[in-house]
Amino acid sequence: MGMLMPEISAATVSEWLKDYSEVISEHANELTDLDRQIGDADHGSNMARGMTAVAALDPNSFASAAELLKKAGMTLVSTVGGASGPLYGTFFLRLSTVIKTDGEPTAQLLADALDAGLAGIVARGKAEVGDKTLVDALSPAVDAVKKVAADGGSAAEALAKAAEAANEGRDATIEMVARRGRASYLGERSRGHQDPGATSMAMLVGSAARCLSGAES
């Protein structure tokens, strides 16, 4: 794995946000295709627009990681249409309330931050595990980070496990029947389709594992 865990700072958070923006842009058509099958066919384009705006934020303009995360959240709320903006925006805003000081992250800090982000999304979107939403990717990722923290593992290990769990959660949405959002109108016909929100959330966690763990990707 090589490198030491990088310290949390506006610069490292900016690297993460820029990486996620690139991933979203690369997969925008795929996300929109997934959304076309069970939603409004705009998830990819909406997320790409929002993350392009977030990636353009200059890390040198922010005194801390928390300030940049807060601005990223507010930017997503104001630039992304549909449900995704408020949900992803709330996620970053909640992260900023937990990651208050810069420095080397612990697995416990990441667990607390991601848990706060999940709680914000659940409160905003009223979705639970099994509803076929981005919660189905984020919730198992949070559980994975909590377990590594409880076992005394490293932040890098916690992020790696989170990425694995998020991907498994994303895949699990294929066989679910949607109970929230536009997809819920389809009932049984939503089964057999991967949820676009769970897909973009798994990409977010995977990006964090690449950029924040210090591991050579």
Domain boundaries, the chain: 10-213
**pLDDT in the model for residue 2:** 37
Query: 35-84: per-residue pLDDT in tens?
Result: 999 888 999 999 999 999 999 999 999 999 999 999 999 999 999 877 89
Q: Most confidently modeled of 30-44, 170-184, 193-207?
A: 193-207
DSSP-assigned beta bridge partners for residue 103? 8
pLDDT at residue 5 above 70? no
* Rounded Cα gap, residues 208 and 12, in angstroms: 10
The class level of CATH for 10-213 reads mainly alpha
- The CB density around residue 141, as the number of other CB atoms within 10 Å, is 31
Contact 64, 12 (CB under 8 A): no
The alpha-helical segments, DSSP class H, found in the chain are 10-26, 28-38, 43-55, 65-79, 84-98, 107-125, 135-150, 155-172, 196-212
